[in-house]
Structure 1
Amino acid sequence: MNLFQLKNALTTVGNDLHRVESEIAATAADPTIGIEKLRELKSQKADLKERFDLLKDQHDTLEKEQQEEIKAKMNQQGAKQVKGMASPDPKQRKVAAKAELYRATMRGREVSQEVKAALGGVKAVLADQESGGEKLLPTTMTTELLHEPFVKNPLRGHSTFTNEINLEVPKISFQLDDDDFVADTETAKELKSTGDVVKFGRHKFKVFAPISETILRGTDTNLVQTVDRALESGLAAKEKKVAFAAQPKTGEEHMSFYSVGLKEVKGASRLKAIKAAIADLHEDYRENAKVVMRYTDYMDIVEELANGNATLYNAQPEQILGKPAVFCDSAVDPIVGDLSYSHFNYDLPVTYERDKNVRTGIEDFVLTAYIDHQIKLKSAFRIAKVETTP
């Protein structure tokens, strides 16, 4: 039987079942009718109920199969209709696949397997993943968003970045059979008091990329650039915010250079404070140390040293400060140290969804991620502060 015939049969048997149930109620309420009649009706009801259940199982199974076939055909047709997916240029195919992912998400369509495959597939689905896996961001997109250096985040390319679930790492990269191999007594005390392993947590946050209908209907390139730029900027902003927060959120205190309890080194001027901080580091960290500071503070130092001599303005920061500089406007007080001990980790697969801003009517492409920033060794860093005169 086909689905139409099964629906008709279900209706017929269902009507008979309802009729018999009504007749049983009427018969039971009439004491003049013999009990044998009631037993006969109950037997008919059991027979009809069994027939109805069998037909319903067949109907539901066939209906589900047909729905899956229709869904697969729609996805296949949707993938074929994606402009650029047939291009011989792999970059063009990737842009087209990204654009289709964004459009499908914003319009409530399922993303085809062909599009996901073009973007590298998706990572393994966790058993407790709320989305069930259908909203996982494709692997190559996750890699690009989390691992490629972004100009807007100065710490990228200097700090360590990973994307691992339940990450635990040693605070130091090697050990010797001699327990006293750590030459820096400050580091030895820190390891003794806090342990030699860092465990990363999960701090959930969302990035919203507003997309107007004009952008959604525009070219693939413009759509992809708009969404990618928004997501990258959002991730970079979150990373900088947690790393340099003067008053971090509850539970995020350990992420900020300024609230984790780094040693402060003071000097009569900002330059002297920076040089004193560099000198105060143990040689194990001083070798690879960098100075994270605001560009305006650096220019004030150069201007003070130059005293009308334009030559210093062309000098490299390392020649002025003694160590390479990483400029970040969020670094109110310069951070001096080995940035490899600053470690950002994104836990769990990154997911995506859509959300409508009821105030503006513009819909957002929403990315959900879980971040943690650990300063693996506080002894690898110093904060350079200018002495305040009473």
Structure 2
Amino acid sequence: MKTIFELKQDMATLGQQIQKQNETIMQKATDPATSAEELVQMQKGKEDLQQRFDIVKAQHDQMEMEQKANLSKGQFTSSEDPKQKVIDAKAELIRKTIAKESVSKDVLQVLGDDDTSKGGKFLPKTVATGIISEPTVKNPLREVSTITSIPNLEIPKVTFTLDDDDFIADMQTAKELEAKGDNVVFTRHKFKVFTGISETILSGTNTNLVSTVEMNLQSGVAAKERKVAFAETPKTGEEHMSFYDKTVVNIKEVTGDDLYKAIKSAIADLHEDYRENAKIMMKYADYLNIIETLANGNATLYTAQPEQILGKPVIFTDAAVTPVVGDFYYSHFNYDIGATYEQDKDVKTGINLFVVTAWFDHQIKLASAFRLAKKA
């Protein structure tokens, strides 16, 4: 049996055929060379197409009415598969939000809603977790940074202490702890992610609707993380999130005659506590330039692993306009609870928008665990 979406496509196709047939009849009617019998046959063909259109439309309208009736009763799914139930519930949440209708308790319960939201605007746990923890567009920092979702998070910058206050061998770290304190307090910074939903997607299968919306939202979240962490000119209030900030974070710059020597010097300049787990975040174009310079016509270097060339694992991102070298354990993203969802519409295109508002923070727990490598 065809879906509502497939029936809509059939109606559109038949509608185009009817319009084309009608235009042909009008042209032939004014042509003296066209016989009356031909016109009768063409008119009969048009009536046949119209009859087919009416049958498909009747089936479409019936299915649409039954679907709306089921939704109004809260029967958003009949699947016994737990995974499919979650997909159906997410699809229901999206459709109800776009339609500006209330979401049933059954849907919220399947999505892990708790008593704090009371069925309100708070994003159910299953949806929030999926969006925050499984991005499609990659933020390379996620591979190496710490990611948490804890309200009012406060953690020590150094995870252990000794009875001797002078145990920190790295003087730069000791000075940083003295100047900035030994705790990191995560704050809330609001951002919105919009995903456009066309009528065809909205009328399609639950699985396609949910995968499309979640992929777009996840991509937006990852892009936001990457943007604030590598912002050359951070927004007011977001200075502490960027590796390149000179007012709050102020990571030490290490220079060299060329970028290759600068990166090598930056690695060597790290204290051994951070050098052990250090990685390099840089643009792929910068790495190719280094290889071209070192190779000098020798193709062997082009097949070598980046770690063999630079001495530490390399992670590529075009956002790293200046290579960042260090222990990315000290890069920490935290999401606060209370993400909300709402509906909007792009008046220019008529596309429905599903909007998620979330709060997060990126803390560079120790600037002394990093270096910026620059050509002198």
> In the alignment, which of 296, 306, 315 is matched to residue 304 of structure 2?
315
Question: Following superposition of structure 1 onto structure 2, how do residues 1-390 of structure 1 map, counting pairs within 5 Å?
Answer: 77-80=72-75, 82=76, 85-122=77-114, 124-125=116-117, 134-148=120-134, 150-259=136-245, 260-387=249-376
Checking the alignment, whether the CA contact within 8 Å between 1:293 and 1:333 is kept in structure 2 is: yes
- TM-score with structure 2 setting the length: 0.77
Amino acid at match of 2:357: T
TM-superposed CA distance for 1:97, in Å, is 1.5
Q: 1:323 to 1:123 in 2, by over 3 A?
A: farther
TM-superposed CA distance for 1:224, in Å, is 1.1
Q: 1:384 to 1:300 in 2, by over 3 A?
A: same
Q: 1:75 to 1:264 in 2, by over 3 A?
A: farther
Distance in 2 between the 1:88 and 1:349 partners?
Answer: 30
Checking the alignment, whether the CA contact within 8 Å between 1:149 and 1:156 is kept in structure 2 is: no
- TM-score with structure 1 setting the length: 0.74
Three-state SS of the structure 2 residue aligned to 1:175 is coil
Distance in 1 between the 2:94 and 2:200 partners?
Answer: 14
Distance in 2 between the 1:381 and 1:216 partners?
Answer: 46
Checking the alignment, whether the CA contact within 8 Å between 2:103 and 2:119 is kept in structure 1 is: no
- Structure 2: give runs of 5+ residues left out of the alignment: 1-68
Distance in 1 between the 2:325 and 2:155 partners?
Answer: 23
Checking the alignment, whether the CA contact within 8 Å between 1:120 and 1:140 is kept in structure 2 is: yes
Distance in 1 between the 2:353 and 2:157 partners?
Answer: 39
- Structure 1: give runs of 5+ residues left out of the alignment: 1-73, 126-131
Cα deviation digits, residues 228-261 of structure 1 (max 9, x gap): 1111111111111111111111111111100121
Cα deviation digits, residues 304-352 of structure 1 (max 9, x gap): 2233333322322211111111111110000000111011111232110
TM-superposed CA distance for 1:77, in Å, is 4.8
Distance in 2 between the 1:123 and 1:230 partners?
Answer: 28
Amino acid at match of 2:174: A
Cα deviation digits, residues 22-65 of structure 1 (max 9, x gap): xxxxxxxxxxxxxxxxxxxxxxxxxxxxxxxxxxxxxxxxxxxx
Checking the alignment, whether the CA contact within 8 Å between 1:150 and 1:156 is kept in structure 2 is: no
TM-superposed CA distance for 1:95, in Å, is 1.7
Query: Which deviates more, 96-105 or 150-159?
Result: 150-159
Distance in 1 between the 2:125 and 2:104 partners?
Answer: 15
Distance in 2 between the 1:227 and 1:335 partners?
Answer: 33
Distance in 2 between the 1:150 and 1:386 partners?
Answer: 33
Q: 1:262 to 1:98 in 2, by over 3 A?
A: same
Amino acid at match of 1:86: S
Q: 1:219 to 1:286 in 2, by over 3 A?
A: same
Three-state SS of the structure 1 residue aligned to 2:237 is coil
Checking the alignment, whether the CA contact within 8 Å between 1:123 and 1:139 is kept in structure 2 is: no
Distance in 2 between the 1:256 and 1:344 partners?
Answer: 12
Note the aligned Cα RMSD (angstroms).
Answer: 1.8
TM-superposed CA distance for 1:93, in Å, is 2.2
Checking the alignment, whether the CA contact within 8 Å between 1:123 and 1:136 is kept in structure 2 is: no
Size of the aligned set, in residue pairs, is: 305
Three-state SS of the structure 2 residue aligned to 1:155 is helix
Distance in 1 between the 2:115 and 2:338 partners?
Answer: 7
Checking the alignment, whether the CA contact within 8 Å between 1:210 and 1:365 is kept in structure 2 is: yes
Checking the alignment, whether the CA contact within 8 Å between 1:75 and 1:112 is kept in structure 2 is: no
